[in-house]
A and B are shown apart, each in its own frame.
Chain A
């Protein structure tokens, strides 16, 4: 199984760019890297997914180096509403056994 390591918590001021890095040394060749966001009292929500280089959508950017052993989720100009837990997931196994770690708790400060 591809295990992931990410910081347990981060603080950021409103308006700043936030980068959360996840390491996944044993990622399989066919695995994509997926990030989810979870607000209190809600289920996780898909944010972004990528295989290599850079992916950008309306919410975030995802940077993946050539060796794919890590990935960085970038949130531009965070607001208080971005306070949440962010999970980095590579799937694993022959089918997607979607396993969540403890995630990174991002606290945005006014």
Chain B
């Protein structure tokens, strides 16, 4: 079974630049999550999609972060403009059912972002 695919694996940018991350979830998974993981901390949920609708984006800094899920499959997360504190690993995960209750999450390997 193919896992959650993310790209790029690493990205280095300067502050105030923009960056985009891409995620392809496991085929058939209805729920998709984006997490931010700062070094030494647990993953922090940024946004959760059910199919192509947003069910939670309460912790997404909407002045600079945006995300979309195309046709309920692939997703992109964008940061514009980036700040130094955005340096982190961005993880994408997916789960099978639409409501995601008590579901098992499958994670990608993440994109490590360094903002200089």
- From A43, A45, A49, A103, B102 is in contact (CB under 8 Å) with A49
CB contact under 8 A between A98 and B107, given known A31-B102, A34-B102, A91-B101: no
Chain A: which residue is nearest B112 at the CB level?
A: A41
Sort chain A's interface into a size bin: 20 to 34
Q: Is the CB of A43 within 8 A of B42?
A: no
The answer for the CA separation of A32 and B56 in the assembled complex, in Å, is 20
The A-contacting residues of B in range 47-104, CB under 8 angstroms, are 48, 50, 55-56, 91, 93, 95, 99-104
Chain B: which residue is nearest A32 at the CB level?
A: B102
The DSSP consensus for interface residues of chain A is loop
Q: Is the CB of A46 within 8 A of B104?
A: yes
Closest-CB distance, A1 to chain B (whole angstroms) = 12
Binding site for B on A (CB under 8 A): 30-32, 34, 36, 41-46, 49, 85, 87, 91, 95-103
